[in-house]
Amino acid sequence: MKQSRISAYAPRLLITMPWGIGDTILVGLSAVDQITQNDPAGTVEIDVLCNHSQAELLEHDPRIHRLIQIDTSLFTTPEAGSWKRGIFLSPAARKLAPYLRDQHYSAVLPFMFALTLFYRLHTPVMFLNLRQIWHVISAMRAFGEVSIQKVIRQSINNYFGGKLPEPSVDEPIPLYICPEHVQKAMELVASIKGDTSSVITRPPTSLLAGGIAGALERNQDLLVALLPSFTDTQASINLLHTLSPGFPGRVVLMPSEPKLSLNRNCPCLNLQPSSIKAISLLLVIQG
């Protein structure tokens, strides 16, 4: 856990969120950013209740006072029946409640489904006002979009007295990453850049074949010429064998030698340039 950067008597807020990695950004970091906007002097301590995977994304954020890591089993998930965890607390969750209560939080952001846990904290919650709740309900009834990020930011603004302007639905969300991770990412990108043997730069045959087959089905005048692959010499052959049975005569593999010119005849297609009228030609590079 991170050590406190400010006084032990500073106001303390607890952020909770669902179990996913995306929730770390959308919920956790949106909340941290909005608290920071309302408290530019940094007098409020921000604690985050999270699992191990979420903690890895947050551990370098200087705005966070402490990460309280709990087991993933304490979170509700999309699995059927997991909502019961938020009502009937496990032994671990029952131990967590008094620990959190002893932290004397000024308020908690209740975006983790754990009704019984929040009840045991005896702590005020940050949430929407009645007008904002009605707006969300109306949008949902009309099958409109509801921005979770905006709901979170509005809830925090309400706690701080609503002094800031109404947040937009696409507020930027800062993410703090250590320099070592950035350097490793840059080295990885440099290593695969231009490498057609990589699965990142060369899509798998099944994926590429599915897209080409769809185009051939939609356009009966389309011919596909596969350019020879050089890094993985079998790739273009595999693609040909995948497509040919379903589209006989419309998919061909261009020879690697001699190199063909656009000004020469097209023997592999049995076509003369003068005979091509309304035919579309798709050239495919498989790596």
Computed over every residue of the chain, the mean pLDDT equals 83
Residue 19, burial from CB neighbour count under 10 angstroms (0-12, 13-18, 19+): buried
Q: What is the pLDDT of residue 274?
A: 42
More confident residue, 126 or 196: 126
**CA dihedral over 24, 25, 26, 29, signed as positive or negative:** positive
Euclidean distance between CA atoms 141 and 198, whole angstroms: 46
Q: Give the total residue count for the chain.
A: 287
21 contact partners, CB below 8 Å, separation of at least 6: 53, 54, 57
> What's the CATH number for 12-176?
3.40.50.2000
The band of 286, judged by pLDDT with boundaries at 50, 70 and 90, is low
Percent of the residues in the chain that have a pLDDT greater than 90, as a whole number: 44
Q: What is the pLDDT of residue 16?
A: 95
pLDDT at position 161 over 90 = yes
More confident residue, 270 or 218: 218
pLDDT at position 5 over 50 = no
**Domain segments of the chain: what residues?**
12-176, 205-285
Q: What is the pLDDT of residue 197?
A: 57
Kindly report, residue by residue over 22-64, the tens digit of the pLDDT: 999 999 999 999 999 999 999 999 999 999 999 999 999 999 9
